[in-house]
Amino acid sequence: MRLKDQNALVTGGSRGIGRAIAQAFAAEGAKVAIIYRGAREAAESLVAEINNEGGKAVALQADVADAASVQACVQRVEQELGPISILVNNAGVIEDDLFVRMKPEAWNKVIQTNLGGVFNFCHAVAFGMMQRRAGRIINISSVSADHVNMGQSNYSASKGAVNSLTRALAMELAKRGVTVNAIAPGFIETDMSAAVRNKAGDKIAKYIPMRRIGKPEDIARVAVFLASADSSYITGQVLKVDGGLTLGAVAE
Partner 1 sequence: MPTQDEIYSKVSATLVEALNVDEEDIKPTSTLQGDLGAESIDFLDIVFRLEREFGIKIPRGELFPESIFQGDPELVQDGRVTPKGLEELRSKMPFADLTKFEENPEVGNLSNLFTVDLIARYIQGKLENGQN
Per CB under 8 A, residues contacting partner 1 are 127, 130-131, 133, 172-173, 175-176
Minimum CB distance to partner 1 smaller for 5 or for 172: 172
Q: How far is the CB of 237 from partner 1 (least distance, A)?
A: 21
Identity of the residue, 17 or 137, whose beta carbon is nearer to partner 1 in the bound complex: 137
Q: Which of 36, 155, 207, 233 is catalytic?
A: 155
Stretch (H or E) spanning 178:
strand 178-185
**Nearest distance from C-beta of residue 236 to partner 1, angstroms:** 15
Q: Is 155 a catalytic residue?
A: yes
Q: What is the DSSP string of 32-93?
A: EEEEESS-HHHHHHHHHHHHHTT-EEEEEE--TT-HHHHHHHHHHHHHHH-S--EEEE----
CB nearer partner 1, residue 132 or residue 147: 132
Answer left, alpha or beta for residue 87, where phi above 0 means left and psi between -120 and 50 means alpha: beta
* Helix (H/G/I), strand (E/B), else coil: 237: coil
Nearer to partner 1, 133 or 211 (CB): 133
Closest-CA residue to 31 (of 52, 58, 49): 58
Residue 128 Cβ vs partner 1, minimum distance, rounded to whole Å: 11
Phi, psi of 214 (to 5 degrees): -70, 160
Q: Is beta strand 86-89 parallel, antiparallel or unpaired with respect to 7-11?
A: parallel
Tell me if residue 204 falls in helix, strand or coil.
helix
Smallest separation, CB 64 to partner 1 (Å): 25
Is residue 90 within 8 Å of 37, Cβ to Cβ?
no
Q: Which residues are catalytic?
A: 155
